[in-house]
Amino acid sequence: MKYFSSITLLSVLVLIALSSFKPSSHPKKMYNDDDDYDTLDYYTMSVSGIKLGANYGVILDKLGSPDSVKKEETQDAQLSNHFEEYFYGKDVFFVMDETVSGFELKTSKFKIDNLVDLKVGDNMAKVKKRFPKSYKLRDVDNSVEDWITTVSVRFGATDSFLEIMVQNDKIISLTTITDDGSDTE
């Protein structure tokens, strides 16, 4: 009888110990609760299979030759030596020192893969649901006839953002930007 009681007690203790290792049912947040903005990981961003931070050759492999390329030498050699813009119609991919550094999407041709395929033309409700903190801080420009709303989502703890511009409740552009610290008003 003692043997049976010992086995039962040991089994109960093992079950209690194992139940404490149950994985959380809540997905890991990609932002710090103290941050005002929702945040994203820059290096996991992918636009129609083109990852930010990848070699620029992936743009050419996936999309072929661009309609045009605008090249610039940067003035601050510490940041980079060369900056290029690859134009595919109205959409642009930014390349800095042969690395995909950002984009400006103005058509629905491309989508942001890891954000529930977010693309130009999607409804504002999709943005509001996915980025509730950033939505609360949205900037509304009512100086134009049809108001333009901008929702900014921070890349980690940096001064770089994904800016989502919305007009008439539809996304009109998705752009990566870096805040240079100056206020232009």
What is the DSSP secondary-structure string of 118-184? EETT-BHHHHHHH-HHHHHT-EEETTSSS-EEEEEEEETTSSEEEEEEEETTEEEEEEEEE--S---
What residue ranges do the domains of the chain occupy? 24-178
pTM of the model: 0.74
Is the domain spanning 24-178 CATH 2.60.460? The answer is yes
pLDDT tens-digit readout, 76-114: 555 556 889 999 999 999 999 899 999 999 999 999 998
**pLDDT of 31-89, one tens digit each?**
344 568 899 999 999 999 999 999 999 999 999 999 999 998 766 555 556 889 999 99
DSSP string, 96-109: ETTEEEEEEE-STT
Q: How confident is the model at residue 141 (pLDDT cuts 50, 70, 90)?
A: confident
| SS3 label, residue 84 | strand
